[in-house]
Structure 1
């Protein structure tokens, strides 16, 4: 707010001694009705932008926080969204960046974020059922998506708002954001073939997940087009611990027809593959080349010769948050969907 005829500097607002910051307080200070204040804080589409900004500024200055129990009684909502994630993700992949970008997209809205973890040996349906049955969140973000994902079927059957980081076989029916891993697999093989590599091996994500199947499919088809050999490293996947990956790599590179091109879907897997092969005496850019995907700038600082494709997790997190709020607030409208497609300009050369 500004004083008429003076400057554009916002007027400082303070509470009277003993006064609590409530909706009534904001209504008094703004000159608006309590229902209007409530709708402005809820980002209602029929409230003007400048009104929302004025109400939020007052709320911030007086330290207003909604009473969550009261909000739930009045609206049936918690103003909470949950990211449901497996604990098996190491922090060198995109998990931390995704959480940060979702949180940034929710900043300034009525929604707060919680993380609901589940363990690799736990049924991934357990946290989903708990949240839906207890109503402890208004919507969910889930990842590690499978083509026929029981979590998605359950949430759709219960008409519970959700968005997936990845696509199912029925993705046209639900909100999602996905990176085009089919294109990534194809681009990786093309780049390695362009360097004269004849036997390309991929450390794939878990094969039950959609993005792993997409990545393998793109690489397989492109390898056939370029007349090079392609294989998936057996005995390990990109989500497993370093010793498991190391033990899978060593016998492969002891063979006479060892790979001379490697594809990694993440930072951790890439570092483990390169360090394992280098300890065996092989030299990057001479004996082998590597294409890897990362969400944070790291790999070319580790080895400058890595062919790096950057995945924009900030874009993913921002879209996932907006798509979930859209599902919560406009459940009858078509779900928001986006596919991030890399192209030949995707390789970064720092």
Structure 2
């Protein structure tokens, strides 16, 4: 460790020396290089040695100095999750963050969240991270078929993984829920309840998973010879009042649906509230199918059809994908499609 790194350590510790790799090396009787490689999970270091080094590191409160690590290696040991500030719905972001953090806990990497607003260009935070070198890899969601962020990161050779897929001919790491199959399952379950006129309250059309969900819905409706009742004015991104107004209008029309497939739990709650205000009873006059990541909807209305989407698993898989990308793994080995049962 050179004088600059000592100065960084002293400043971060309020002027007092804090535990370093040399401290761990002294306490374990190992070399500094061995300690460093053990903490970074090097494959040529034995598991017993790694566990001993990590135990001592925890006991003395050792934390890698990010600035010092960057001076030595050019790396930050940071993974950035880039999130829209509007995407926190019913705790989904918390589930995703938990899964990412759970996986990174056993690695030298730690997570930071980089938010951006609805009026911002989604490419801006990505470009900032790459240009400043403030992370070693990024994870982001709300993927579009022709996504400028994916193209930019691919061109820059910067490690990333996406929550969702593109349709642009670029091989990249991703984790995605099979929304086409979800919509098929939802339609099949509603049809099994005798429902014949179905509506889809889906995601915004510019997102890739909207296309998948719509295709699965339409294919199942056609296969089962059901009627498609279109919802025109709102999506799962729409506000509570807008969804309620549209569903109320629909339920008052001559072609009102007897089944609704929802792309999110929050949209389903809004739709159910509007239908009930119109006098409908869920499970008698109207059935609703929804995907969710936690056991809430059955408690809200027990007659709802629920298909599970595991955001925690998504986070774990995305963290693994981006870390392995940093390590040089090929993109085609880091693609996961989660098919609902």
Which TM-score applies when normalising by structure 1? 0.90
How far apart are the structure 2 equivalents of 1:332 and 1:241?
A: 40
Counterpart position of 2:46: 48
Counterpart position of 1:303: 301
Deviation sequence 1:257-289 (CA, Å, 0-9, x none): 101100112111111100111011111111110
Counterpart position of 1:76: 74
**1:332, CA displacement in angstroms?**
5.4
Describe the shift of the 1:232–1:26 C-alpha distance in structure 2 as closer, same or farther (beyond 3 A): farther
How far apart are the structure 1 equivalents of 2:317 and 2:277?
A: 41
**1:334, CA displacement in angstroms?**
4.8
**1:93, CA displacement in angstroms?**
5.2
Describe the shift of the 1:90–1:333 C-alpha distance in structure 2 as closer, same or farther (beyond 3 A): closer
C-alpha contact (below 8 Å) 1:327/1:335 kept by paired residues: no
* Bigger shift: residues 292-301 or 235-244: 235-244
**1:171, CA displacement in angstroms?**
7.0
Which has a greater percent of helix?
Answer: 2
**1:115, CA displacement in angstroms?**
0.7
Describe the shift of the 1:96–1:240 C-alpha distance in structure 2 as closer, same or farther (beyond 3 A): farther
C-alpha contact (below 8 Å) 2:80/2:111 kept by paired residues: yes
**1:48, CA displacement in angstroms?**
2.1
* Bigger shift: residues 86-95 or 268-277: 86-95
How far apart are the structure 2 equivalents of 1:329 and 1:175?
A: 13
How far apart are the structure 2 equivalents of 1:93 and 1:141?
A: 18
Deviation sequence 1:186-234 (CA, Å, 0-9, x none): 1111111111111111111111111111011001011000000124421
Q: 2:115 aligned to 117, 121, 132, which one?
A: 117
Runs of 4+ in 1 over 6 A off after TM superposition: none
**1:40, CA displacement in angstroms?**
1.2
C-alpha contact (below 8 Å) 1:180/1:341 kept by paired residues: yes
How far apart are the structure 2 equivalents of 1:19 and 1:164?
A: 40
Count of aligned pairs between the two proteins: 326
Secondary structure of the residue aligned to 1:292 is strand
Structure 2 residue 281 is matched with structure 1 residue 268 = no
How far apart are the structure 2 equivalents of 1:236 and 1:111?
A: 40
How far apart are the structure 2 equivalents of 1:332 and 1:201?
A: 40
Q: 1:167 aligned to 165, 168, 171, which one?
A: 165
How far apart are the structure 2 equivalents of 1:307 and 1:334?
A: 34
Deviation sequence 1:327-346 (CA, Å, 0-9, x none): 11225575411111113xxx
Describe the shift of the 1:159–1:253 C-alpha distance in structure 2 as closer, same or farther (beyond 3 A): same
Query: Unpaired runs of 5+ in structure 1?
Result: 1-17, 344-350
**1:138, CA displacement in angstroms?**
0.7
C-alpha contact (below 8 Å) 1:204/1:232 kept by paired residues: no
How far apart are the structure 1 equivalents of 2:213 and 2:136?
A: 33
Deviation sequence 1:92-116 (CA, Å, 0-9, x none): 1522211111111111321111111
Aligned residues: CA RMSD: 1.5
* Bigger shift: residues 122-131 or 23-32: 23-32
How far apart are the structure 2 equivalents of 1:40 and 1:206?
A: 46
C-alpha contact (below 8 Å) 1:93/1:266 kept by paired residues: no
C-alpha contact (below 8 Å) 1:93/1:294 kept by paired residues: no
C-alpha contact (below 8 Å) 2:182/2:213 kept by paired residues: yes
How far apart are the structure 2 equivalents of 1:141 and 1:122?
A: 18
Counterpart position of 1:138: 136
Counterpart position of 2:325: 327
Q: 2:212 aligned to 205, 208, 214, which one?
A: 214
Counterpart position of 1:10: none
Describe the shift of the 1:216–1:47 C-alpha distance in structure 2 as closer, same or farther (beyond 3 A): same
